[in-house]
Structure 1
Amino acid sequence: MKRTALKIGYIGTNFHGFQRQPDLRTVEEELIYHLRKLNYIDDLKKSRFRIAGRTDAGVHSLGNVISFQSEKEVQVNEINNSLPDDIQILAKAPVRFGFKPRYAEMRQYRYILFRQDLDLEKLDEVAEIFKGTHNFTNFTKRFQKTTTRTIADIKITEGNLNDYHKKEFPNLHDTISPIFIDIYGESFLWNMVRKMVRVFVDVAIGKMSLEMVEELLNPGENDPRVNIKVLDPDYLILMDIIYDGIKFVYDDYACERFKRNLVDSLDNLQRKYAIRESMIKSLEDLRK
């Protein structure tokens, strides 16, 4: 019996998060259903089915990880042929019997902002404050045993999606260039990344000072928790999860297949954009 880890890509839009929930479509439920259907697993306890993280409803992934043991040799594309298009296996790796995907060396989350009113220098300054080990009790909804976490790095870059749009969809007008906020750490609290990015935005638009960020990360023992409103999950991607000594092998066909699915979804969005743009222009013409 072999134990295998799989790296999962999914478009979170039509999922109610990763974790199984009664009568709701989730990533975990889809994976378990199809792994059972293909006779990779039967009893979850016996197969030691484990997951790396529970992303919220609407959050996307290129690197979430599951692991299980099976008598059957794992065939990535056999599983993908059974899975729906918005969830696919991208890579696999053999792992030891005691491997637990929850305990990773590093996780990378990316939040994408589409705003023109952000002071990029302020974003960099906030990033420097967040780096290192802090008490993130103000950056989660749940009370947990420990809220101390370490941010290994934060990278802020200006993206440019316009070239791709112009190539694939020549009728689409220029869009706002996105800002990528990539956050690296061993582990994160529930809602932590989206609350962090809310603070990035508030500082970058002048709504919050850098001193206030310092205070949020160093609350007093008796200080009440601060309610930081989370940003939308739709713009958050779990980019990757890295483990010491484990090298995932990406399946070229699986990656190209998932890429085509993403391109097809862009085509649908382009059509929706064109319809709405036409209606907006028609409304303007009708009022003349």
Structure 2
Amino acid sequence: MRNLLMTLSYDGTHYFGFQTQPGGNTVQDHLEEAIRHLTGEDVKIHGSGRTDAGVHARAQTFHFTTASQIPVERWRHALNGRLPSDIRITSAVEVPLSFHSRRSAKRKTYRYSINGNRVFDVFNRQYQLHHPGPLDVVAMREGLKYLVGTHDFTSFASRHSTKQSHVRTIYEARIEVDHGLDGAGTHEQGILHIYLTGNGFLQHMVRIIVGTLLQVGEGKRKPEEMKSILEARDRAAAGPTAESKGLMLWSVEYEDLAEAPDSAAKS
């Protein structure tokens, strides 16, 4: 048996998330069906994590074991020919049988995008939350600082979370503002990209953080309240859950791989 690790991108707009659901139409369903058509095997893939309905991925990873002897450099092309156009395999690499895409991951980064301009971008409306009202980005950046480190993120987790522990470590949190050529030098706010890198994330964690940060940006909360929200360990202490469409799984990082997933065979 061989263990293959693959990286893929997908537009989650029309899917009920990554992981298989009773109602079907998930990214995992389409991947497993494509593999079945290619090799005749009924495999179960294992993702580096799950994404909710409407959430996108720039670089999601998954692994599966196969008896197929198809050369690793041919898998990308073969599967992409059997997948919907909004799901693309970007790389494939063979890894040790002991490798697990979720348990072996060291760092994950999510990006949440907010369009702060008066008129939303028609071409990116499915990937950005439109918020035309003024936002205090300096205050939002200050609020983010309180989340860096190891904390109990119960306040920023869905009430339906089934994880035994809500302790997670955030390594980096930042906001980048893209004014673009049209917005530079004008009163337009531009596009705010919120990046969060950690060792793992809870259900709805990033979206609840964003929803709370928006309240900070609107002046409804002070930046230092992020600390007291963490300490409360109570979902009711935090803000609303931001819409799913602005969220994207940006990257998954591993150690001790002979070849990094995003630079693996791409022929």
Into which bin does the TM-score normalised by the smaller protein fall?
Answer: 0.7 to 0.9
Q: Give the Cα–Cα distance (whole angstroms) in 2 for the partners of residues 224 and 64 of structure 1.
A: 27
Note if 1:157 corresponds to 2:176.
yes
- CA 1:194/1:10 → structure 2, altered by over 3 Å: closer, same or farther? same
| TM-score, normalization by structure 2 | 0.82
In 1, are the aligned partners of 2:156 and 2:235 still within 8 Å (CA)? no
- CA 1:227/1:205 → structure 2, altered by over 3 Å: closer, same or farther? closer
- Greater helix percent: which structure? 1
Shift of 1:148: 0.9
Structure 1 residue runs of 4 or more that deviate by more than 2 Å after TM superposition: 40-44, 71-74, 160-163, 223-228, 249-253
Shift of 1:160: 3.9
Q: Give the Cα–Cα distance (whole angstroms) in 2 for the partners of residues 87 and 190 of structure 1.
A: 23
Q: Secondary structure at the match of 2:242?
A: coil
- CA 1:143/1:68 → structure 2, altered by over 3 Å: closer, same or farther? closer
Q: Give the Cα–Cα distance (whole angstroms) in 2 for the partners of residues 226 and 143 of structure 1.
A: 19
Q: Give the Cα–Cα distance (whole angstroms) in 2 for the partners of residues 11 and 34 of structure 1.
A: 17
Counterpart amino acid of residue 27 in structure 1: V
Residues 111-137 of structure 1, C-alpha deviations (whole Å, 9 max, x = no match): 001125111211210121111111110
Structure 1 portions without partners, runs of 5+ = 164-173, 254-288
How do 1:55-204 residues align onto structure 2 when only pairs under 5 Å count? 55-72=51-68, 73=70, 74=72, 75-103=75-103, 104-115=105-116, 117-141=134-158, 142-162=161-181, 177-204=190-217
Q: Give the Cα–Cα distance (whole angstroms) in 2 for the partners of residues 176 and 84 of structure 1.
A: 35
In 2, are the aligned partners of 1:138 and 1:228 still within 8 Å (CA)? no
**How many residues matched?**
238
Structure 2 portions without partners, runs of 5+ = 117-132
In 2, are the aligned partners of 1:137 and 1:225 still within 8 Å (CA)? no
> CA RMSD of the aligned region, Å?
2.3
In 1, are the aligned partners of 2:153 and 2:167 still within 8 Å (CA)? yes
Counterpart amino acid of residue 206 in structure 2: V
Percent identity, aligned pairs only, is 29
Shift of 1:24: 2.9
Deviates more, 1:153-162 or 1:196-205: 153-162
